[in-house]
């Protein structure tokens, strides 16, 4: 049942969209359409629209009339009864048919060559204007029948008359835009109904194709490809994208740095002070070095050196060698006893 409504929706939407586009093109952004100037050939004193020619209601109209050599001219919009009664016995050019934008039919009406009175003295005009060389009015058409009159003032005529006509609807451009969008929406809905539900997924088929791989169904699983990105942050906090191989090498380098000891190995030969090794330690015992309780090699430490000091009568100490020691008196009791035993 829904698919039967698809084509009617498409047709109605197409017509509505075309109408909206036409309104926008005719009225323009200012919602007005202007046509002219158009030349009206007459040598009389009046041009007037016949009854029932102006049938529009609520339409905004602008009328500009121009005559050469600064002749006085008048343009006015009035009730049809008043205008026809005013010009009943006057020679005039009567517009019997008008179709937008500017298609007119006219007929000559016989009568006297002068107006019955000055049009500017009448107070029943809905909108009127007079001037030298041109005049214009701008008004909204009322609900009552009206007629438009272009009149020569004084002893002049309307030869060389040109008319510019503009009309519009308030908000017409917006209405046209709304009709266009509404029509496009109906066309879209009709196309969705025409495609119908998908036999595989039970949903509506999308009206577009995914990179030439055929239509993508609603509910169809889409393969998501995840890509790993490796980022290295330097010492200044700037991020640099690196490859997977560079990231592996950097990780191996960091692991090697973490395993490297922070200080020298006490069992390493480089950690032993050469000054602390006795001459006999350079020739290791074939049985191997002695080990302490921790399993480390024991290093023989030489005994501390003996220093001999001579103190003079002023109490100043002087270091002497072991050979010069026989010339001085020993004050160390233990050492003096040993010296006496040797003697």
User: Is 302 among the domain residues?
Assistant: no
Strand pairing category for 60-66 and 72-79: unpaired
Both structure tokens of 110: 């016989």
Assess contact for 230 and 247: CB atoms under 8 A.
yes
Q: For all residues of the chain together, what is the average pLDDT?
A: 76
pLDDT at 336: 53
CATH number (domain holding residue 82)? 2.60.120
Both structure tokens of 149: 């009159």
Q: Do 159 and 43 fall into the same domain?
A: yes
**Across 169-316, where does the E strand assignment appear?**
205-209, 215-217, 230-233, 239-242, 308-311
Determine which of 177-181, 203-207, 334-338 has the lowest per-residue pLDDT on average: 203-207
Q: Which residues contact 63 (CB under 8 A, 6 or more apart)?
A: 75, 77, 136, 137, 138, 148, 163, 164, 165, 166
Assess contact for 66 and 136: CB atoms under 8 A.
no
Residue with tokens 């070095």: 289
Q: Which residues contact 196 (CB under 8 A, 6 or more apart)?
A: 2, 3, 204, 205
Both structure tokens of 338: 């040993």
pLDDT at 137: 93
Residue 47 pLDDT grade (very low, low, confident, very high; cuts 50, 70, 90): very high
- Listed ranges 7-16, 222-231, 253-262, 291-300; the one with the highest mean pLDDT: 7-16
Share of residues in the chain with pLDDT > 90 (%): 24
Determine which of 114-118, 171-175, 232-236, 295-299 has the lowest per-residue pLDDT on average: 295-299
> For 223-252, what is each residue's pLDDT tens digit?
666 677 777 777 887 787 888 888 888 888
User: Is 144 among the domain residues?
Assistant: yes
pLDDT value at 61 more than 70: yes
What's the rounded Cα separation, in Å, for the pair 92 and 148? 13
pLDDT at 322: 72
Number of domains in the chain: 3
pLDDT at 246: 85
What is the average pLDDT across 314-335? 68
pLDDT value at 60 more than 70: yes
What is the average pLDDT across 27-52? 84
Q: Do 25 and 67 fall into the same domain?
A: no
Higher pLDDT, 115 or 299: 115
Total-model pTM: 0.47
Q: Do 96 and 20 fall into the same domain?
A: no
Q: Do 161 and 175 fall into the same domain?
A: no
User: Is 227 among the domain residues?
Assistant: no
pLDDT value at 307 more than 90: no
Both structure tokens of 322: 């072991």
Q: Do 36 and 95 fall into the same domain?
A: yes
Q: Is 72 exposed, middle or buried (0-12, 13-18, 19+ CB in 10 A)?
A: middle
- Domain end (from 128, 148, 168): 168
User: Is 26 among the domain residues?
Assistant: yes
pLDDT at 303: 61
Q: Do 2 and 101 fall into the same domain?
A: no
Q: Do 62 and 133 fall into the same domain?
A: yes
What's the rounded Cα separation, in Å, for the pair 151 and 36? 19
Q: Do 53 and 113 fall into the same domain?
A: yes
What is the average pLDDT across 118-134? 92
Domain that holds residue 314: 308-342
User: Is 4 among the domain residues?
Assistant: yes
Both structure tokens of 134: 């041109």
Residue 112: strand, helix, or coil: strand
pLDDT value at 40 more than 80: yes
Q: Do 104 and 20 fall into the same domain?
A: no
> For 85-117, what is each residue's pLDDT tens digit?
999 889 999 999 988 778 889 999 998 888 988
What's the rounded Cα separation, in Å, for the pair 156 and 107? 21
What's the rounded Cα separation, in Å, for the pair 13 and 263? 85
What's the rounded Cα separation, in Å, for the pair 311 and 319? 9
Determine which of 63-72, 215-224, 301-310, 314-323 has the lowest per-residue pLDDT on average: 215-224
User: Is 99 among the domain residues?
Assistant: yes
Please state, in angstroms and as integers, the Cα–Cα distance from residue 186 to each residue in 22, 263, 301, following that order. Answer: 18, 81, 105
Q: Do 122 and 174 fall into the same domain?
A: no
**Across the chain, where does the E strand assignment appear?**
32-40, 46-49, 60-66, 72-79, 92-99, 103-109, 125-132, 134-140, 146-152, 161-168, 205-209, 215-217, 230-233, 239-242, 308-311, 317-320
Q: Do 36 and 163 fall into the same domain?
A: yes
User: Is 18 among the domain residues?
Assistant: yes
Q: Do 174 and 26 fall into the same domain?
A: yes
pLDDT value at 331 more than 80: no
User: Is 338 among the domain residues?
Assistant: yes
> For 72-82, what is each residue's pLDDT tens digit?
999 999 999 99
> For 191-210, what is each residue's pLDDT tens digit?
887 776 543 344 444 444 44
């Amino acid at each position: 049942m829904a698919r039967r409504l698809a084509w009617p929706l498409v047709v109605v939407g197409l017509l509505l969209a075309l109408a909206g586009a036409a309104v926008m093109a005719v009225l323009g952004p200012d919602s007005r359409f202007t046509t002219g100037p158009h030349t009206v050939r007459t040598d009389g004193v009046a041009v007037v629209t016949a009854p029932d020619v102006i049938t529009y209601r609520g339409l905004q109209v602008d009328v500009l009339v121009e005559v050469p050599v600064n002749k006085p001219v008048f343009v006015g919009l009035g009730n049809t009864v008043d205008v026809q009664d005013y010009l009943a016995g006057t020679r005039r050019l009567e517009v019997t048919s008008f179709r937008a934008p500017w298609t007119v039919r006219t007929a000559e009406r016989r009568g006297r060559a002068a107006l019955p009175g000055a049009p500017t003295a009448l107070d029943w005009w809905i909108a009127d204007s007079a001037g030298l060389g041109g005049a214009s009015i701008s008004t909204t058409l009322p609900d009552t029948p009206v007629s438009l009159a272009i009149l020569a003032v004084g002893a002049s005529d309307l030869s060389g008359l040109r008319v510019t006509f503009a009309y519009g609807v308030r908000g017409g451009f917006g209405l046209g835009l709304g009709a266009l969008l509404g029509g496009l929406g109906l066309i879209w809905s009709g196309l969705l109904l025409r495609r119908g539900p998908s036999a595989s997924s039970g949903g509506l088929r999308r009206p577009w194709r995914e990179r030439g791989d055929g239509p993508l169904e609603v509910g169809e699983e889409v393969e998501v490809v995840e890509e790993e990105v490796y980022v290295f942050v330097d010492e200044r906090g700037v991020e640099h994208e690196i490859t997977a191989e560079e990231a592996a090498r950097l990780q191996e380098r960091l692991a090697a740095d973490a395993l490297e000891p922070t200080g020298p190995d006490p069992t390493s030969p480089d950690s032993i002070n050469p000054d602390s090794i006795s001459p006999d330690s350079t020739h290791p015992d074939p049985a191997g070095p002695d080990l302490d309780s921790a399993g480390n090699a024991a290093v023989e430490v030489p005994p501390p050196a003996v220093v001999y000091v001579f103190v003079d009568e002023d109490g100043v100490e002087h270091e002497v060698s072991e050979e010069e020691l026989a010339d001085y008196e020993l004050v160390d009791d233990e050492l003096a006893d040993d010296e006496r035993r040797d003697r």
